[in-house]
Amino acid sequence: MVARRCLVTGAGRGIGAAVARRLAAQGHAVALTARSAGELDAVAAGLPGPALVVPADLTDPIAADAVVGAVERAWGGPVEVLVLNAGAGTSAPLARTTDEDWARMLDLNLTAPFRLLRRALPGMVEGGWGRVVAVASTAAKRGDPYVAAYTASKHGLLGLVRSAAAEVAGSGVTVNAVCPGYVDTPMTAATVATISTATGRTPEQARETLARRQPIGRLVDPDEVADAVLLCVGSAAITGQGINVDGGTVQS
């Protein structure tokens, strides 16, 4: 396998950290970005190969150029594998979703990936090879109550993936999304805490409620999401797809 220059966003924990470890285990050089420099340093220290830590707030309009440029300068070539994992969620009834909630979801979950993709894609096309994988959500494919802003941002992310994939088809570059359900990550832990506070259930009961929403009866492991990301990285024939990793919740 040819070693590639990779960039993983939201790489300090959860799915992003799992993907970074898997890419490094396959011999790739992995750059890590997120706001949390300490978490990134801890992940990088455990990687077996070349690692680069580039802390950034990806909602800053100049962050995409700064982060991708740092990788190019450090490793002497374009980003070849871009994993767009950074994201966040919020929950509120639609009528109580504020402009700030709406803007925050779009900025981090949709606009930041767009800017990174726009910055990295030309180098991939010029080189005749590239892989982009966005971590979306089952919320990209269905609507659930109380998550309108999050759902809109993830639907938009999947649309971005599909359009970009069509645009670069035939260039050697693929663009895909993976769509996890409830994954055993800090983001889900925050959801558990919100449910517990709102309903009076214990955290264990709230966690079990989420697990039962998936036909497999448990939360998805971050490494299981990383499996799907690595599938997209390894295949030249998969593009424009939103691959569900949700224990059978959404059948498509």
Does residue 29 sit in the same domain as residue 41? yes
Most distant pair of Cα atoms in the chain: their distance = 55
**Residue 252: pLDDT band with limits 50, 70, 90:** confident
Which residues belong to the active site?
150
Q: Give the number of residues written for the chain.
A: 252
| High-pLDDT (> 70) share of the chain, % | 100
128 pLDDT higher than 90: yes
Give residue 193's pLDDT: 82
Does residue 125 sit in the same domain as residue 13? yes
Mean per-residue pLDDT for 105-117?
A: 98
**Residue 192: pLDDT band with limits 50, 70, 90:** confident
Mean per-residue pLDDT for 246-250?
A: 93
Q: Are strands 81-84 and 51-53 parallel, antiparallel or unpaired?
A: unpaired
Q: Which residue has the higher pLDDT, 208 or 47?
A: 47
**Residue 185: pLDDT band with limits 50, 70, 90:** confident
In a domain, 33, yes or no: yes
Give residue 137's pLDDT: 97
Q: Walk across the sheet containing 29-33 and list its strands.
A: 51-53, 29-33, 5-9, 81-84, 130-135, 173-180, 242-245
Does residue 45 sit in the same domain as residue 11? yes
The number of domains in the chain is: 2
Does residue 186 sit in the same domain as residue 124? no
Does residue 212 sit in the same domain as residue 133? no
Does residue 207 sit in the same domain as residue 162? no
Does residue 128 sit in the same domain as residue 193? no
Judge whether 243 and 232 are in contact, CB under 8 Å. Answer: yes
Mean per-residue pLDDT for 207-217?
A: 88
Apex 85 CA angle, 32 and 232, nearest 5: 100
**Residue 206: pLDDT band with limits 50, 70, 90:** confident
Distance CA(116)–CA(225), nearest Å, equals 21
Does residue 159 sit in the same domain as residue 206? no
In a domain, 144, yes or no: yes
User: How many helices and strands (H and E) does the chain possess?
Assistant: 9, 7
Residue 138 half-sphere exposure toward CB, CA atoms < 13 A: 18
- On the 0-12 / 13-18 / 19+ scale of CB atoms within 10 A, 84 is buried
In a domain, 251, yes or no: no
* Residue 194 belongs to domain spanning: 182-219
